[in-house]
Amino acid sequence: MAFLNEEELEGKIKELSSEILKVRNEIEAKEKEREELRNELGKVRDELSTVINQLNNKRIELKSIRDEIAKLRKNRDDIVNTLRQFKDKRLELLNKIKELIDRVRKYRELLKMINDMIGGKPVDKDRLKELIDKLEFEHEISPTDPEKEWEFFRMIQQLERELNAAEVLSRIKEYISRDSQEIEKMRKERMELGRQMRDLYSNALVNIKTQIQELKKKREAIVNEIIQLKNKRDSLKARRDELKRAILGKSAEIKELRVRLRELNEELNKYQLLLAAARKSKNLALKRQEEARIKEELRKKAEESLQKLMRGERVSLNDLLGLESDENNEK
């Protein structure tokens, strides 16, 4: 059996040990990098959770503001409808006032015309009635006279015309007074409606519009914050996914390195076994060579002792035994 080259085996073992150390260092470095990535991933996840919570809170706040704006808009629309109703009512009152003013004007014209007919003098209805009753009574108790009868009828007719005119004038004045009072009432009602409209507009509507504008600004600010938070969330998600891919990549690299390390260890063990076998084989061969050398030396001494003995010289027992031992071994 040929001897194995120990130097080559030792060189290979040294090479493998160096490679194993290198791979172990690479594994440690990769594991350290993976741990750093995992730590960063944890921080990114924590930050992402915080951003998502902030985003949810902003959405709740935005919904609350939108609900408040919708409520204020409904109140605004109710006030606008009320103002429109007040405006329509004031216009209706104005038209009625105009109608009444026109009717009062006509009554006054009629009143003037009747006054002109009766001479413009004031008429006392009670006095006229009393005078008519008195004339009728005197006509009944007085003797009949055609001329006086005609005069009586003329006077009665005149007095009755004046009485009718007085009654008409009285009714017209009542109409004028009634309509004038109604006009004044409607004017006051229009003024009150105008005051209520001014109050609603100045105190309620303007205030609601101001609140709506302020809430719109706040809504716009929150929408901008939500956009920024969404962008940050998406950026963090992208970074999270990137880190997860990097961690998986590092794990795959570590797995490959560990497979390589296992293969190197197996190869190292193989070469170490080969080296041990080579050394054992070499030691055994050297031992056999040494034993053969010793035997050869003993045999030579034994032969020399035998030659001396045959010449009559004195020899030691050990020298002779060496020869015997050598002969026994040969047998």
Q: How far apart are CA 24 and CA 86, in angstroms?
A: 91
Contacts of 104 (CB under 8 A, 6+ apart): 175, 176, 179, 180, 183
Given this model, what pLDDT does residue 310 score? 75
Given this model, what pLDDT does residue 304 score? 75
Closest CA to 248 of 12, 27, 10, 37: 37
Domain boundaries, the chain: 6-267
Contacts of 48 (CB under 8 A, 6+ apart): 233, 236, 237, 240
Closest CA to 192 of 204, 203, 200: 200
Whether the CB-CB separation of 246 and 37 falls below 8 Å is answered with: yes
Amino acid at 264: L
Q: What are the structure tokens assigned to 35, written together?
A: 């741990």
Please, what is the end-to-end C-alpha distance for the chain in angstroms?
A: 26
Given this model, what pLDDT does residue 327 score? 41
Amino acid at 41: L
Burial of 320 (0-12, 13-18, 19+ CB in 10 A): middle
Given this model, what pLDDT does residue 163 score? 58
Q: How far apart are CA 52 and CA 54, in angstroms?
A: 5
Query: pLDDT per position in the chain (331 positions), as tens?
Result: 344 577 888 888 999 999 999 999 999 999 999 999 999 999 999 999 999 999 999 999 999 999 999 999 999 999 999 999 999 999 999 999 999 999 888 888 877 776 776 655 555 556 555 655 555 555 455 555 566 556 555 655 655 566 566 676 777 788 889 989 999 999 999 999 999 999 999 889 999 999 999 999 999 999 999 999 999 999 999 999 999 999 999 999 999 999 999 999 999 999 888 888 877 877 777 787 877 788 777 777 777 777 776 776 666 666 556 544 444 443 3
> Could you tell me which CATH number the domain at 6-267 has?
1.10.287
